[in-house]
A and B are shown apart, each in its own frame.
Chain A
Amino acid sequence: MSNMLLEGRELHTYYGASHILHGIDFHIRQGEGIALMGRNGMGKSTLIKSMLGIVRPKHGRVLVRGDDYTKATTYRTAQQGIAYVPEGRGIFKSLTVRENLLMSARAGVDGQRNWTFDRVMETFPRLGERINNGGWQLSGGEQQMLTIGRALMTNPDLLILDEATEGLAPLIAMEIWRIVKEIRKTGIATVIVDKNHGAVTSICDRAMILVKGEVVFDGSSDEIRANPDLIQKHLGVGH
């Protein structure tokens, strides 16, 4: 039995007349961690959204556990054990921390309930201290922790973090990376979109670099770290 979780094949996505993704192939297996990197506007978030049905690719196919989900609605794809933590967090600000977490609680695809409310509290003790606070009362870092905690409450097999530390102070970002590293150890497959290549390649075993909607690198994180020229060429600032 294949352990493939999510695949995008030959994806072409457009925003109006702008051709954003140029035939991208993507795949992630159970338990794998992929650092998805590239400068701004290279198609990282569009790739994620194309596979989740948030944006419709014009050509290509999306497979979840081998089944065709190209035309599936986003909620159907999510029900296949895929949790998406988007840029901008998107918590329910009028609900409390507890309510935000409990409303997303559900068993995983195989009925697993490894991530309970208590376990999320243990992972993010800070949220425990703010449990009855409204979402609007949380700082940016707390909101990000709540968003990840909420994603875990769905007992996912795949967690997708899109710019999880964007705009956060370095201390908070370090703490979030530390926690994500612990989550990775539980065997949840993870796609991390982030500009901090050092942090994400230390968490993920595989790395992909997108440039202008095409994959220019797909290999091990060790390989990319061993090749500073590649990092400078495709991820360096001002070049």
Chain B
Amino acid sequence: MNKSLDIIHAEHRAIAAMMHGLRQIVAGIEKGRLKPDFELFRAMIEYIDKVPEKVHHPKEDQYLFARLRERSAEALPVIELLEAEHRIGDARIREVEAAMQQYEQSGAAGFAGFQAAVTKYIEAEWKHMNTEEHEIFPLAEKHLTAEDWAVIDAAFLSNENPWKGDAGQYEKLFTKIVNIAPAPVGLGPG
């Protein structure tokens, strides 16, 4: 597998871990096992907003999809779908954020709306990553040339660890989330 696809895989694992954590915490609140922690929700939403939406998706659009668009007519409809999903990514995370603010202001009455927004976001993101891994990756491996991969890999490798951030800020945010998320999702008090 090419370096850039490896990097996307690794980034998907981090996104998946964050979404799994968010889903488990929301389920814990629904079952009455956990109380809402809005500092944690804000941190998780900030991570999803800053890292996948602002770093991961643009990189895919700019390099992988752009090259594949030139090489494969078969990939075009899928690329267009994924690019459209990237374009509405910001609006989708704003919905989650708004639902969280509503929940914080209105208390238990706001939980259902927040849960629905979180579920909607996570399901869409799962579907999106699945499409990339099961449809786009095989097409990319089939149609992109060695020269294409050299350009894409160089771009991805120059930004190999976007999760760290320029000053390590995303890494610190991730660690903060792990530390305050309640056990067994994270290391905080369960």
Contact = CB atoms under 8 A, between A and B. Distances in A.
Contacts of A178: 171, 174
Contacts of B17: 169-171, 173-174
A185 B12 CA distance: 23
A169 B18 CA distance: 10
Nearest to A199: B13
Given A141-B187, A142-B187, A226-B1, A171 B20 contact: yes
Contacts of B24: 169
A133 B24 CA distance: 26
A225 B1 contact: yes
A178 B14 CA distance: 11
B183 A141 contact: yes
By secondary structure, the B interface counts as helix
A228 interface: yes
Nearest to B20: A170
Contact of B187 (A139, A170, A199, A225): A139
A140 B188 CA distance: 11
Contacts of B20: 169-171
A202 B175 CA distance: 20
Contact of A169 (B10, B13, B171, B185): B185
Given A170-B20, A173-B17, A225-B1, A202 B6 contact: yes
Contact of A172 (B9, B18, B171, B178): B178
B186 interface: yes
A126 interface: yes
B interface, size bucket: 20 to 34
A45 to B, nearest CB: 23
Contacts of A141: 178, 183-184, 186-187
B181 A171 contact: yes
B89 interface: no
Interface of B: 1, 6, 9-10, 13-14, 16-18, 20-21, 24, 171, 174-175, 177-179, 181, 183-187, 190
Given A125-B179, A139-B183, A171-B18, 19 more contacts: A126-B179, A141-B183, A141-B186, A142-B187, A168-B184, A169-B20, A169-B21, A169-B185, A171-B21, A171-B178, A172-B178, A172-B186, A173-B17, A174-B14, A174-B174, A178-B171, A198-B9, A199-B13, A202-B10
20 contacts: A126-B178, A126-B179, A139-B190, A168-B184, A169-B184, A169-B186, A170-B13, A170-B17, A171-B17, A171-B181, A174-B174, A175-B174, A175-B175, A175-B178, A178-B171, A178-B174, A198-B9, A199-B13, A202-B6, A226-B1
